[in-house]
Amino acid sequence: MKLDTSPIAAIATAPGRGGIGVVRASGKSLGALIDALFPGVTLAPRHATYIPFKAANGDTIDEGLALYFKGPHSYTGEDVLELQGHGGPVVLQMLLGRVLEAGATSGLRLAEPGEFTRRAFLNDKLDLAQAEAVADLIDASTEAAARSASQSLSGAFSQVVHKLVDQTINLRMLVEATLDFPEEEIDFLEKSNARGQLAGIVEALENVFRQAAQGALLREGLNVVLVGQPNVGKSSLLNALAGSEVAIVTPIAGTTRDKVSETIQIEGIPLNIIDTAGIRPADDEGVDVVERIGIERTWGEVGKADVILHLLDANLGPSAADEAIVAAFPAGVPVVRIWNKIDLSGHKPSKDESADAVHLYLSANEGLGIDLLRAELLRIAGWQQTGESLYLARERHLIALRAAREHLDMAGRHAAQDDQSLDLFAEELRLAQDQLSSITGQFTPDDLLGVIFSRFCIGK
């Protein structure tokens, strides 16, 4: 990705009113901009200077702190100027306008989304995994997600990836050196313990993947869709999981006409719980136009579900309509059959596993068995209580780790053929190395970099 060296500026704080607002500028040299904004004033690098922010005609826009960071000792690796004033949106827009006006002669322009962090990446202040962690820390919806994002931002995730890359490179060097000197090829795999080294790399990669996969749950969460016939207690279950009256509950069938969503946390894992309209046959005389649309939307949510909670009335037992609903579920999506209203049926809170599904008996109204459901959702999510640090990985990181694992598996197969397939062994190691290096950005295509940084907020 080519680095645009023209100076940039943007409001770095979130839209809205606040006690403090920040306008940030970055460029190869901001001396001319500082002179235009503050004539006759010298800003000492890394020292805060209390100063009035004035318009071109001398009128005071605001008063606040000016901080100057001389490159490369800054966030972006370039000169950075931050003006910290009051957080009113009008004041900040006026201040940004003044900064752009003062820097017009040097080509100062408005920053694109994520451009400050993109420059930090291109100037080797952050690698790509750390740069992504910046956005993840800003977007973190739980304390656990914020801690894991901070862990990745500190470089912990990058360090373990770099260690895997180094181990793979060292093994590649041994294999390729043997290819260069074929007279030494005899018993190479035994003498260098290449198979043992490969097994060590695979084991380390599995550990990284496990921690990254759990960290990905902290970032993405699970979409949990409540499905069932009308009046089986879907809205009551949503309220029980959320701990508040999120959805309207009445004895009237078909109360829920559209989806109702609520995000909750279980052990720090965000779960997007989606209550949907009760499903009835389309030819049912009681189904009006609005309810029919609601049922269509229900099936739309089912198609996007990570987990389906199929609610049934434990007091009535299964029906042909319930089985018809099950038959329409998409393949490969975990389904938990929730037998609700055990306070009426006489069942005890319990969990049963059959060949086709997990069955949970609970009462949403009385709160009985809700802990069983929470534990089952964590099990489906693959969550494990662990003292290990987690990395707030993204899907692209998991894809790269899986691909690297596949190449290492192929390398192991070639290693099993002794010294007869050393060239293929070396090639699979190279491909595994490339996949691992893409995580930190060493071999990441420019178009992917563009997509990643375009999703950042402006000013970061």
Specify the CATH number for 8-127; select among 3.30.1360.120, 3.40.50.2020, 3.40.50.2000, 3.40.50.300: 3.30.1360.120
Averaged confidence pLDDT in the chain: 84
Kindly list the distances between the CA atom of residue 62 and the CA atoms of 40, 54, 86, 87, in Å, as whole numbers in the listed order.
19, 7, 7, 10
Token representation of residue 306? 């990570």
Mean pLDDT, to the nearest integer, of 303-322?
86
Count of alpha carbons within 13 angstroms of residue 3, beta-carbon side: 17
- At 7, the pLDDT band (50, 70, 90 cuts) reads very high
Given a cut of 90, whether residue 97 has pLDDT beyond it is: yes
- At 410, the pLDDT band (50, 70, 90 cuts) reads very high
- At 420, the pLDDT band (50, 70, 90 cuts) reads low
Q: Where do the CATH 3.40.50.300 domains begin and end in the chain? A: 219-381
Residue 252: the pLDDT is 46
The predicted-structure confidence for 429-438, as pLDDT tens digits, reads as follows 999 999 999 9
CA–chain centroid gap for 397, Å, is 10
Residue 458: the pLDDT is 76
Q: Per mean pLDDT, which range of 85-89, 145-149, 365-369, 418-422 is the poorest? A: 418-422
Given a cut of 50, whether residue 248 has pLDDT beyond it is: no
CA distance 194 to 411: 11
Given a cut of 70, whether residue 240 has pLDDT beyond it is: yes
Kindly list the distances between the CA atom of residue 99 and the CA atoms of 49, 61, 108, 366, in Å, as whole numbers in the listed order.
17, 12, 9, 60
Residues with Cβ within 8 Å of residue 445, at least 6 apart in sequence: none
Buried b (16+ CB within 10 A) or exposed e, 369-380: bbebbbebbbeb
Mean pLDDT, to the nearest integer, of 403-407?
95
Q: Is the dihedral of CA 215, 216, 217, 218 positive or negative?
A: positive
Residue 120: the pLDDT is 92
Residue 355: the pLDDT is 72
CATH superfamily of 219-381: P-loop containing nucleotide triphosphate hydrolases (3.40.50.300)
Q: Where do the CATH 3.30.1360.120 domains begin and end in the chain? A: 8-127
Order of all β-strands in the sheet with 48-54: 48-54, 60-69, 79-85, 21-27, 8-11, 109-110
| pLDDT, greater one: 19 or 179 | 19
